Structure 1
Amino acid sequence: MKPNTHSHFRRLAQSLLFIFILALATNGYSQTSSPKTGRVERIKVHGKGLEGNLAGDSPDRDVSIYLPPSYQTDKKRRYPVIYFLHGFTDSDDKWYGLTKHWINLPAVVDKALADGKTKEFIIVTPNAYNRYFGSMYSNSVTIGNWEDFVAEELVTYIDKQYRTIPQAGSRGLAGHSMGGYGTIRIGQKHPETFSSLYLLSPCCMIPNMGGPGGSEMAARMEGVKTVAELDKADFITKAMFASAASWSPNPTNAPFYLDLPVKEGQPQPMVTAKWAANAPLATLDQYIANIRQLKALAFDAGSKDASIAATNKVLDAMLTNYQIPHTYEEYDGDHINRIGERIEQKMLPFFTMNLSSEPVKGGKK
């Protein structure tokens, strides 16, 4: 029995060694194939159309860029791009985890990739925070030509510097709040640049025809005389100044170079008209032919975000009236509490479905 015993222990040792080697190999495999994270770069992009703005903001803008996990290893691969626009008083660094904030966009994207909910994209966010706490992504001598910067200059720069698929079918435009406004504002004018749009809780969709909101609001606005006073103002007052800088600029009205919708306590109809001319729900009819060229359009808002949910319903009705395919959803949430979840579960799958990952020969830029 002794030879058999030795043989038994030898086989047992071999089996244990095999299991040990297998465990090492399996452990090694899990490390190399564990979910990888993308990389964030923050660069400067010069805006020719932002030069000489009366607010004195630099035309050299910070831009945060999310490069997907395979970007560094698959050197020949090209990627579709999502241009993502942040909201009022926000900035690119807040959204990209470079400054503590209520959301970390790269972490959201990494999670969606790990869960198989999205394909890989380059994601680009310009810093639209300015002297007035937000550009409204509009063209104005006071703040510079932000609409043109996003739709033309930024896209051209990114296509030259990164391995993008430089055509509309592989470009999406999205944004939150002010960024959602910028998305529909720019997207409805530039189907030759962006093929798919996703609006997260878009603000500023309808003109404020009722004026500035009463005598108290008018007094607060007109009480702001200096930049220091504006910096200390409440959120709504800041938003009114940002809107005026974007939509009713006045190159001779120092120090802010804008016209407010109230003067000496009286509503200013011409200013109100200018603001209405920048409201997407007021201008949508002019761009129906462009909107029909889009491959996909989606928008959502939380039910507790009442005014924005209400304007989303109007947008839904208008698009339905024109028989334009779109996706509209109202969910249980407020203006910010479920935005990360919406990006992960709705926005990224939307672009996964609608943006092409393959260049189209002879396709439009």
Structure 2
Amino acid sequence: MNANSMNRQSTQSTRLVRSLLMLGILGVLFAIPGYSQDSPAKAGKVERIKVHGKGLEGNLAGDSPDRDVSVYLPPSYQTDKKRRYPVIYFLHGFTDSDDKWYGFTKHWINLPAVVDKTLADGKSGEFIIVTPNAYNRYFGSMYSNSVTIGNWEDFVADELVAYVDKNYRTIPQAASRGLAGHSMGGYGTIRIGQKHPEIFSSLYLLSPCCMMPNVPNEQMAPRMEAVKTVADLEKADFGTKAMFASAASWSPNPTKAPFYLDLPVHEGQPQPMVTAKWTANAPLATLDQYINNIKQLHALAFDAGSKDATIAGTNKVLDAMLTNYSIPHTYEEYDGDHINRIGERIEQKMLPFFTKNLSTEMVKGGKKK
């Protein structure tokens, strides 16, 4: 055997040893549970179901009482069949819908993607997350009870919770239920949450709207009164639509077709009774009446962007009121506007908040201490 042949044989032997070593290393790696070449993050599953609302039947707006509901199931839900999970009920904002938040329709946020990322980064525990579609003839329900739009407050607090507990592996107790929402959904969170500490133990409000009565200004009043038909309302600006949604929710009128509501201005004149009704539905005006309920909550947090001036301002009032009553809570104003950092806030604040405060096991009396 000449020198060249010996060198080739030596090189081949070295390559073989290296290959065997590499295969051995890979064998060890692939034996590690959960390891793969790409190490993909586990993703949750999203279902879109229908839930019938008995209290939504016969609403004068003509909206269906069979509501779309998006449900996020965490990654282990499909494999760990005996495990039960805490639930976050998440309420979307005005002109939004559940499909926009859950990736069925392109939108400014994809909630399941945010949750999956937070789980992959180890910042959150696993939750079932439930969002009902509150988009209606008036572009949003305000999560309120009204003959015009149906009993949305009752639907969320009673009917939806009962359905989810019956059909999913939840931990059916207040200590394991959280309520959260953005904008109109933040309003719905404090509206419903302050009345039902026996159902929801922890609340997180993202940029909550409508905390104080939103009475129209002089420029808006003529635009509202110019709306005579459903087609007119469809073409109206955002503020005018919000006025009609508020009226449908808080000042319904079953004899006043086609919208079945009373506006806070009629023929250019303010309507004090309508304004009084709207005030009676403003959380900052009603909070004193629900202080004992709020004291029963396990945890309460809220935030808003500094550039979202009106909402940041009402948050400061809420902060001061809760502080005056010595109620523990967390309030934060961050550099942002109404929507530009909501995904980040959910990831870094809301989900860790519920991870800390929602119970992952049954507790005595259903309330976490």
TM-score bracket relative to the smaller structure = over 0.9
The 2-side partners of 1:274 and 1:202 are apart by 20
Q: 1:24 to 1:322 in 2, by over 3 A?
A: same
Query: Which moves more between the two structures, 269-278 or 21-30?
Result: 21-30
**What is the Cα-based RMSD across aligned positions, in Å?**
2.1
1:248 aligns with 2:251: yes
| Aligned position for 1:212 | 216
Which aligned pairs between 1:220-235 and structure 2 lie closer than 5 A? 220-235=223-238
Instruction: Give the SS at the match of 2:300.
Output: strand
Q: 1:212 to 1:7 in 2, by over 3 A?
A: closer
Q: 1:166 to 1:32 in 2, by over 3 A?
A: farther
Deviation at 1:207, TM superposition (A): 1.7
The 2-side partners of 1:283 and 1:361 are apart by 31
| Aligned position for 1:348 | 351
1:333 aligns with 2:336: yes
* TM-score w.r.t. length of structure 1: 0.95
| Aligned position for 1:139 | 145
1:288 aligns with 2:291: yes
**Partner AA of 2:156 in structure 1:** V
**Partner AA of 1:292 in structure 2:** K
| Aligned position for 2:107 | 101
1:177 counterpart (177, 183, 201): 183
**Partner AA of 1:107 in structure 2:** A
The 2-side partners of 1:79 and 1:287 are apart by 29
| Aligned position for 2:270 | 267
Deviation at 1:358, TM superposition (A): 1.0
Which aligned pairs between 1:43-122 and structure 2 lie closer than 5 A? 43-122=49-128
Deviation at 1:25, TM superposition (A): 4.9
Contact map agreement 2:148 2:253 (CA 8 A) in 1 = yes
Contact map agreement 2:181 2:187 (CA 8 A) in 1 = yes
Contact map agreement 2:201 2:367 (CA 8 A) in 1 = no
Unpaired runs of 5+ residues, structure 1, are: none
Instruction: Give the SS at the match of 1:106.
Output: helix
**Partner AA of 1:357 in structure 2:** T
Contact map agreement 2:303 2:315 (CA 8 A) in 1 = yes
**Partner AA of 2:191 in structure 1:** R
Which aligned pairs between 1:31-46 and structure 2 lie closer than 5 A? 31=37, 34-46=40-52
Deviation at 1:22, TM superposition (A): 1.9
1:276 aligns with 2:282: no
CA offsets per residue over residues 222-280 of structure 1, 9 Å max, x none?
A: 11010011000000000000000000000000000000000010000000000000000
The 2-side partners of 1:275 and 1:233 are apart by 21
**Partner AA of 1:178 in structure 2:** M
Deviation at 1:106, TM superposition (A): 0.2
| Aligned position for 1:306 | 309
Question: Aligned residues, how many?
Answer: 361
The 1-side partners of 2:340 and 2:367 are apart by 38
1:194 counterpart (178, 183, 200): 200
Deviation at 1:363, TM superposition (A): 2.6
CA offsets per residue over residues 155-174 of structure 1, 9 Å max, x none?
A: 00000000000000000000
Query: Which moves more between the two structures, 91-100 or 9-18?
Result: 9-18
Instruction: Give the SS at the match of 1:258.
Output: coil
The 2-side partners of 1:286 and 1:100 are apart by 41
Deviation at 1:23, TM superposition (A): 2.6
2:170 counterpart (164, 170, 174): 164
| Aligned position for 1:129 | 135
Instruction: Give the SS at the match of 1:251.
Output: coil
The 2-side partners of 1:179 and 1:228 are apart by 26
